[in-house]
């Protein structure tokens, strides 16, 4: 059974601080997605990474896919209160070719002004 473990599960920081969220597995993934989910709503896609070692930037957010395609990280620079929310990683396991995504349990981020 493929699992994605996110850490930390909860993070509370002050505005302006930097943070990193990790998504780890012992399994290889074809691709990995990061989503943000607000309470009572559906996950909103932030980014997809598909190549080992790939780095993508989205304004103050930097996403990295591990060289072995088993892990990923999300780094936020100078966090703002608007970044508060639940961040989910999700991966398409290999050798599945059906699009099935395995989700991590999520990291709840609270950014205090």
Partner 1 sequence: EPEVTQTPSHQVTQMGQEVILRCVPISNHLYFYWYRQILGQKVEFLVSFYNNEISEKSEIFDDQFSVERPDGSNFTLKIRSTKLEDSAMYFCASSGISGRSEQYFGPGTRLTVT
- The CB-of-36 to partner 1 minimum distance in angstroms stands at 11
Cβ proximity to partner 1, 45 vs 55, nearer residue: 45
User: Binding of partner 1 at residue 100 (CB under 8 A)?
Assistant: yes
Query: Which residue among 92, 107, 109, 111 contacts partner 1 (CB under 8 A)?
Result: 92
**How remote is the C-alpha of 111 from its chain's centroid?**
17
13-72: which residues touch partner 1 (CB under 8 A)?
A: 30-31, 33, 35, 40-45, 48, 50
- The CB-of-67 to partner 1 minimum distance in angstroms stands at 19
- Backbone dihedral region of 18: left (phi > 0), alpha (psi from -120 to 50 degrees) or beta? beta
Question: What residue has token string 């966090």?
Answer: 79
Q: What is the DSSP letter of 104?
A: P
| Tokens read off for 1 | 């059974």
- The stretch near partner 1 (CB under 8 A) out of 8-16, 20-28, 56-64, 97-105 is 97-105
CA angle 45, 46, 49 (to 5 degrees): 100
């Amino acid at each position: 059974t493929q699992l994605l473990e996110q850490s930390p599960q909860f993070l509370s920081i002050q505005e302006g601080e930097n943070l990193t969220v990790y998504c780890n597995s012992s399994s290889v993934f074809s691709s990995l997605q990061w989503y943000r989910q607000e309470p009572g709503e559906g996950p909103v896609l932030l980014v997809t990474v598909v190549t080992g070692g790939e780095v993508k930037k989205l304004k103050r957010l930097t996403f990295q896919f591990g060289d072995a395609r088993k892990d990923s990280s999300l780094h936020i620079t100078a966090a703002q209160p608007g970044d508060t929310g639940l961040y989910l990683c999700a991966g398409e396991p290999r050798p599945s070719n059906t699009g099935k995504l395995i989700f991590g349990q999520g990291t709840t981020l609270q950014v205090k002004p």
